[in-house]
């Protein structure tokens, strides 16, 4: 109608994206026939754009959307073989964007999608490599924070797997006092535990870096918590304490769901560091600051422990003596 190729291209992409959004909505509503028709219309429009327009940005955009469409079709496919085929087809399109059009706007988006496809293909090691690749190829990508969170989760799963394997071996190889009773089991268990600790530390550093680099991101508070938990599980209790207190100090984080949890685990870290007074103080502070949170309930349970009750009694006696 307009005879202007720029407007023609924009119109075609807008229509294709609209069909994709409609298809997603119909799929959620259970209307598979309408979704299929809309996916087909989107494919035809994007294929037409690939044939009509030769500039890199347009072709990269079309290839990216076609890859996204194929990826989503894979997600909704019940047949395992067909699902794998669609994931592989989507992967090829995303790789074509990063390979043929690396300097276009959609290259970083395609790189992020490559990692997601490998996750869907149950190849987490390769997915992790692709998230790392996104960070150094496209350091300003809008997906950096999310990629760091996914990479941290990858190392956390790895650490937990090593930890789970180590536990029965250590139980078999060591008695209650830590004395070796089965040398082979103890050696293997200790080696696995060491690997778990290394993975927990990697996890903590990645999530800590996410919190530091993207302090205003919606993921920042949870990243700080995950970093603290990873240090705690690695028995790096001083690092865990520092990390949890950093979360507590960020008043922009939600109090009931984020800062309260950080307070509780800061108290647990103090206990591991044999600083009962500091633990008592932060547990008390938690019960006053966020009394409605589940973490306040956990803190009250800690405060009801015999050692904490004795500590509170001693403090009260000292207060009364001071008043006299």
Q: Hey, what are 133's tokens?
A: 């690749």
Coil, strand or helix: which one is 236? Answer: coil
Spatial distance between the Cα atoms of 57 and 280, rounded to a whole number of angstroms:
60
Contact residues for 211 (Cβ-Cβ < 8 A; gap 6+): 220, 221, 223, 224, 227, 246, 247
Cα–Cα distance measured from residue 68 to residue 269, given in angstroms and rounded to the nearest whole number: 44
The answer to whether residues 112 and 141 touch, using CB atoms and an 8 Å cutoff, is: yes
Model pLDDT, residue 283: 95
Give the containing element (helix H, strand E) for 45.
helix 32-52
What confidence score (pLDDT) does residue 307 get? 87
What SS3 state is found at 139?
A: coil
pLDDT on residue 11:
84
| Each residue's pLDDT tens digit, 283-317 | 999 999 999 999 999 999 999 998 888 888 877 77
Judge contact between 22 and 38, C-beta under 8 A. yes
Q: What is the pTM of this model?
A: 0.84
> In which residue ranges of the chain is pLDDT below 50?
none
pLDDT tens profile 165-216? 999 999 998 888 888 888 999 999 999 999 999 999 999 999 999 999 999 9
Instruction: Give the pLDDT confidence score for residue 1 in this predicted structure.
Output: 66
Tabulate helix, strand, coil % of the chain (nearest 5).
Answer: 80, 0, 20
Q: What is the pLDDT of residue 235?
A: 95
Residue 324: what pLDDT? 66
Total Cβ atoms within 10 A of residue 145: 18
Alpha-carbon distance of 301 to 216, in angstroms, equals: 33
- The single residue listed with the structure tokens 């109090």 is 255
Beta carbons within 8 Å of 113's beta carbon, 6+ residues apart: 64, 67, 68, 71, 90, 94
| Strand ranges in 47-93 using DSSP code E only, listed in sequence order | none
Angle (deg, nearest 10), helices 144-173 and 124-137: 140
Residues 172 and 182: beta-carbon distance below 8 Å: yes
């Amino acid at each position: 109608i307009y005879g202007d190729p720029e407007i023609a291209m924009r119109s075609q992409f807008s229509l294709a994206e609209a069909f994709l959004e409609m298809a997603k909505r119909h799929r959620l509503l259970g209307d598979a026939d309408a979704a299929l028709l809309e996916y087909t219309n989107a494919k035809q429009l994007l294929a037409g754009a690939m044939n009509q327009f030769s500039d890199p940005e347009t072709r990269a955009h079309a290839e990216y959307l076609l890859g996204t469409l194929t990826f989503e079709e894979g997600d909704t496919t019940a047949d395992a073989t067909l699902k794998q085929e669609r994931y592989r087809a989507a992967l090829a399109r995303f790789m074509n964007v990063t390979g043929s059009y690396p300097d276009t706007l959609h290259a970083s988006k395609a790189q992020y999608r490559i990692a997601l496809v490998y996750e869907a293909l149950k190849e987490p090691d390769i997915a992790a490599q692709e998230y790392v690749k996104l960070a150094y190829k496209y350091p300003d990508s809008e997906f950096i924070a999310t990629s760091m969170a996914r990479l941290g989760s990858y190392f956390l799963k790895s650490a937990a797997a090593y930890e789970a394997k180590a536990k029965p071996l250590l139980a078999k190889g060591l008695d209650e006092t830590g004395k070796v009773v089965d040398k082979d089991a103890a050696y293997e268990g200790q080696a696995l535990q060491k690997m778990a600790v290394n993975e927990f530390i990697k996890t903590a550093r990645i999530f800590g870096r996410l919190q530091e680099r993207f302090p205003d991101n919606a993921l920042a508070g949870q990243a700080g918590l995950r970093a603290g938990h990873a240090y705690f599980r690695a028995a790096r209790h001083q690092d865990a304490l520092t990390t949890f207190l950093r979360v507590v100090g960020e008043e922009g984080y939600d109090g009931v769901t984020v800062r309260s949890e950080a307070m509780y685990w800061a108290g647990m870290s103090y206990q591991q560091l044999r600083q009962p007074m500091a633990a008592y103080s932060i547990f008390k502070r938690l019960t006053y600051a966020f009394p409605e949170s589940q973490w306040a309930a956990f803190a009250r349970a800690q405060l009801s422990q015999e050692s904490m009750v004795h500590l509170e009694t001693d403090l009260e006696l000292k207060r009364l003596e001071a008043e006299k």
